[in-house]
Structure formats: C-alpha cells, structure tokens
Amino acid sequence: MDWTQDLNDVGCALTPPLLMPEQCREISGWYDEVERFRTTIDMARYRFGSGQYRYFAHPLPELVTTLRASFYEQLLPVARDWADKLGQPAPWPDSFEQWLDDCHRAGQERPTPILLKYRAGDWNALHRDLYGDLVFPLQVVIGLDRAGVDYEGGEFLLVEQRPRAQSRGTVTTLPQGQGLIFTTRDRPVRSTRGWSAAPVRHGVSTVRSGLRHTLGLVLHEAA
C-alpha cells in the first residue's frame, strides 16, 4: 500500500490491519515475559511522562523482525524522497539487513523495538526517538488493545513545528492491530524558498481508564 500522500500531507498515515486480535493479545502477553527484554524504562523516573515500556533483547521475535524489514522496504522511497527535497544525505541502503549492519558498524548495536504499557493516568511526553547519528526518518506504532473498549483516552499525538508559524498537532486513535507510520525527526514542508525541514515530536495523551499496550518499531538501532 502507498502511504506517501498522507505522510507528505500531515507526517503520519494509518495502515490497514496488520495483526489479528489473537496476535495482539499474544504480543501484549509478552510484556510479563521479562526474559524477552534487555531493559525496562519507568517513564516517571526519567520525567518522560507516566507509564512503562520495555526494549526487546536479541534475538527479536520473528514477527517483530518481519514487520521491521517490511516497513523499511516500503518506506525507503519516501525516506529518500524527503532527503532529496531537503538536500540531506540519504544513507539508507536497499536492504534492511545492510542498514542494520551499517548501524552496528557506527556503534548503534542495541535493538530499539519496544512494548509499551499504559494504565489509567499514564501519558507520554512529546519526544523524538533518535538513539544515534544514523536515523531512519519514519517509524511505526501498532495498537494492541481496543480503543473505547479496553481503554479510554491514550490518543497518539504528533506535533509539527511549522517554519515561521504556530505548531500543528495531529491526534490519532489507534485501532487494534493497525499501525501508524509517522515522522521520526523532521520532514519536508513547502516554504517560500522551496523546502524546509519541519521538526516533529510525538507522544501519547493521558489514558483515562483501562489498559493500553502498543508495539513500537523504530527502524534504526541504538548506541
């Protein structure tokens, strides 16, 4: 599927269903299998908001590996187009495996896919997932629970700083099993001088009730 239009217009695009409900429940259940993960982050401790997430350890689950490689291949043309518009380097090779090798040679060896868990009252501050010098400009988050049934609130927030203008916000409710592709760092927007880089940050609004899990797929590795 081509998500280019939505990504170019607003910096994010909702995918069709990627996972069946039983797959979503299985992935959510991984959260309690601590041996799957290399570290756990308490967001309140680091003033990131409130809630918790865990970074997967090697070896990654096969499903996570497959999803990352598939998204990299499909989003690579968009990444290269954005770099061309902004006059920036486009260091991304044709294959995802080669890209990961490049990250590792640059000292970015730690896996970045995460499983996030929010309870009532939790939220995620606006931020960007960069992790090192090598950055892929798009990433994906997949909803694992049913909005309006398993939880209320917890909408995905995307805030774009427009050149010489007020920031623009986009709010998305993640359906179960669907992904949201969104800008990692910045994206090209038209200006009077051609193209300008608009910085973008993302977060999650306050969960009002229930329990919300999401799977986060960053397409580069961490130093």
Q: What's the pLDDT tens digit per position in 33-52? A: 999 999 999 999 999 999 99
Under the phi-then-psi rule, with left for phi > 0, alpha for psi from -120 to 50, and beta for the rest, what region is 209?
Answer: beta
The mean pLDDT of 73-87, rounded to a whole number, is: 97
* Residue recorded with tokens 């892929």: 136
According to the model, what pLDDT value does residue 1 have? 58
Whole-number Cα distances in Å, 147 to 24, 56, 65, 176, 215: 13, 24, 26, 7, 15
The pLDDT of residue 210 is: 98
What percent of the chain lies above the pLDDT cut of 90?
A: 94
Please report, for residues 38, 92, 137, the alpha-carbon distance to residue 88 in angstroms, rounded to integers and kept in the order given: 33, 12, 12
DSSP 5: H
pLDDT (tens digit, 9 = 90+) per residue, 153-182?
A: 999 999 999 877 789 999 999 999 999 999
3-state secondary structure of 27: helix
Please compute the mean of the pLDDT values over residues 45-67 and round it to a whole number.
97
Q: Could you tell me the two tokens for 70?
A: 């598939």
Peptide bond into 113 cis (omega under 30): no
Sole residue written with tokens 């890209």:
99
Q: What is the pTM of this model?
A: 0.96
3-class SS of residue 194 = strand
Pick from 174, 189, 194, 175: which is nearest to 10 by CA? 189
Going along 164-219, which residue ranges are E strands? 168-172, 178-183, 186-191, 194-204, 207-217
Burial 119-137 (b: 16+ CB within 10 A, else e): eeebbbebeebebbebbbb
